[in-house]
A and B are shown apart, each in its own frame.
Chain A
Amino acid sequence: MKTRIQELRKRRRISQSELADALDVTRQTIISLESGKYKASLVLAHKIAQYFDAAIEDIFIFEGDENIC
């Protein structure tokens, strides 16, 4: 799974710490999400989508076997 979090964050010119503060998570979680090491829960994915005013599937891009069709 790829994410567009870093791209959207940079477009808004906010730091990882600021995003982490807004989402009530640690900065390390943002780093892991951006690097694709960690997959967000549905709740966190929803919060991120709300924060960037976008749909979840526009931020989290599922690949290969992760899609059912």
Chain B
Amino acid sequence: MLGIFCARKVSSNEDYRKYARRCCFAYAGLALAGMITAAIALAAEYLWEAAVSDMMLGVYTGVGTGLIVGGLILLFKNLYLLKNEKKLRQARIAGSDERNIQISALATKAALAVLLVGIYFAILVGGLWYPILAKALMFLVVLFMFSYVVAYKVISMKI
């Protein structure tokens, strides 16, 4: 599907096996990031006595739990793939199929357009009441534009 953090075109099952092993570490890292997020939220509330609102505590623990669950599901799915040659081949083909890659790129582009329009309206409306929100969102848009220009230059030098 999206494959932003873990996408690679491989041509053999053996290469895909190596790639899947590397992905296992990435997914374990994702689960670990979730644990850290949830732990920081809980530590802020109960150990450091920081003034964290109930809503933000819920957000942090929710994001943390989501990352833990997502990371573990992907990790176990990958471990299962490594043990099953047929499923491994199917996953390799699904991941490296050029039509799937094109669909994913177009879907990402469409989702990005929706995200930018959403951010624009959030800045327009939300900024009236919460100026910090407008600043934070504008920073993200600038970060995206900057990253795009840098990535474009770097990739254009490679291909």
Write the B45-67 contact mask toward A (1 if CB under 8 angstroms, else 0).
00000000000000000000000
A38 interface hit (Cβ, 8 Å): yes
A-B contact count (CB 8 A): 25
Q: How large is the interface on A (under 10, 10 to 19, 20 to 34, 35 or more residues)?
A: 10 to 19
Q: Which A26-65 residues sit within 8 Å CB-CB of chain B?
A: 26, 28-29, 32, 38, 40-41, 43-44
Q: Are B99 and A25 in contact (CB under 8 A)?
A: yes
Q: Chain B binding site: helix, strand, loop or mixed by DSSP?
A: helix
Q: Are B11 and A25 in contact (CB under 8 A)?
A: no
Chain A residues lying within 8 Å of B98, measured Cβ to Cβ, are 25, 29, 40-41, 43-44
Q: Are B100 and A26 in contact (CB under 8 A)?
A: yes
Q: Which B56-101 residues sit within 8 Å CB-CB of chain A?
A: 93-94, 96-100
Identify the interface centre among B98, B99, B100, B102: most chain A CB within 10 Å of its CB.
Answer: B99
Q: Are A26 and B11 in contact (CB under 8 A)?
A: no
* Min CB–CB distance A21 → chain B (angstroms): 8
A66 interface hit (Cβ, 8 Å): no
Q: Are A29 and B99 in contact (CB under 8 A)?
A: yes
Q: Provide a sorted-by-A list of 14 A–B residue pairs whose CB atoms are within 8 angstroms.
A: A20-B93, A25-B93, A25-B97, A26-B93, A26-B94, A26-B97, A26-B99, A26-B100, A29-B98, A29-B99, A32-B99, A38-B99, A38-B102, A40-B98
| Bound-state Cα–Cα, A25 to B17, Å | 18
The 4 closest A-B pairs by CB, nearest first: A29-B99, A26-B97, A25-B97, A41-B98
| Bound-state Cα–Cα, A43 to B100, Å | 15
Write the B9-25 contact mask toward A (1 if CB under 8 angstroms, else 0).
00100000000000000
Chain B residues lying within 8 Å of A24, measured Cβ to Cβ, are 11, 93, 96
Chain A residues lying within 8 Å of B93, measured Cβ to Cβ, are 20, 24-26
| Bound-state Cα–Cα, A20 to B93, Å | 9
Q: Are A28 and B11 in contact (CB under 8 A)?
A: no
* Min CB–CB distance B43 → chain A (angstroms): 46
